[in-house]
Structure 1
Amino acid sequence: MSTAQETSSGTTLSRLHDAVNTGDAEVISKTIDEIVAPDVLFHAPVPTGAAGAQALKQVWAVLLRAFPDLHVAVEDVIAKGDRVVCRNTVTGTHLGEYRDLPPTGKSVRYNEIFIFRFVGGRIAEIWGVVDVFSQMRQLGVIPGGSS
């Protein structure tokens, strides 16, 4: 992938982050349809029975129901070849059910790293590492208080 293609991939991810930060499930879904391959391979825990872009849409629907003020702050973006890596800080307030946990009203702040592979200008594959341990500790599910 050329430098121009790497820049284009970074721009595509900016569109995704901008959509996510609207908090509007419809905007997120439409953006996913535009920039993600329908058969995207999503290497992260996803809702049962979902695959491809539909799984990604379901993940965001679940997150927005649980954390309606969810915000993803992009800390680093590294592009190389057909891949882009994003390191993010996520914040939100737990106001809806999440992982069978009723709303706590607690704020969370956790880190995540995602690697995106592009084919033909669209996201074709995603690997994600999310600090769920920190998230669960802040929600009181795991002892240790907030961090």
Structure 2
Amino acid sequence: MSIEANKALVERYYHELVSEQRIDLVEELIAEDAADETLVGPGGSGTREDFRDHLRGLWANVQDVKATVEDLVAEGDRVIAFWRIEGVHVGPVFGVPATGRSFTGHSISTLTIRDGKVVRYNVLPDRLGIIRQLAAVPV
């Protein structure tokens, strides 16, 4: 696949799968043997079900979640996504119990693509920035 096709796949991942909560797209966008490294650790092996679990957990704890890709950098089979998440905190996030507060967070994700599907996913969120908003911790 081309770099542009890989970028388009990542755009769909965040817009359609995460924001629109289209769990039906997991088979189309995620390889059967894909690893969600947020759950299995770097280099770990996984399955599509790990992605479903990650998404369901996000949707259960962040109401009205919206993921917006701000920039993409790609080379070969990898795409780096700089993205923003917005939503309402209705369940535990990074150890903070539900507050009902709206928040915005920024993350950088690495997605590896094979044959038009995500095979590895890792995310580095701004945990401290999000926790400060949720727990009302002064900067």
Higher strand fraction: Structure 1 or Structure 2? 2
Question: Which of 100, 106, 114 is the aligned partner of 2:109?
Answer: 114
Question: Which of 48, 60, 66 is the aligned partner of 2:55?
Answer: 60
Counterparts of 1:99 and 1:86, CA distance in 2:
21
CA apart distance, 1:52: 2.2
Counterparts of 1:95 and 1:83, CA distance in 2:
33
CA apart distance, 1:44: 1.8
Unmatched 5+ stretches in structure 1: none
The one-letter code of the counterpart of 1:132 is R
1:35 corresponding residue in structure 2: 29
1:144 corresponding residue in structure 2: 137
- How many pairs does the alignment contain? 134
Unmatched 5+ stretches in structure 2: none
Q: Could you list the per-position Cα deviations for residues 11-49 of structure 1 after superposition, in whole angstroms to 9, with x for gaps in the alignment?
A: 111221222211x3xx1x211211111111222246xxx
CA apart distance, 1:144: 2.6
CA apart distance, 1:100: 5.7
Counterparts of 1:109 and 1:15, CA distance in 2:
20
Preserved CA contact (<8 Å) 2:79 2:112: yes
TM-score, length-scaled by structure 1: 0.80
CA apart distance, 1:69: 0.8
Question: Which of 5, 15, 31 is the aligned partner of 2:12?
Answer: 15
Preserved CA contact (<8 Å) 2:83 2:106: yes
Whether 1:125 aligns to 2:120 is: yes
Once the two structures are overlaid, the 10-residue window that deviates more, 79-88 or 89-98, is 89-98
TM-score, length-scaled by structure 2: 0.84
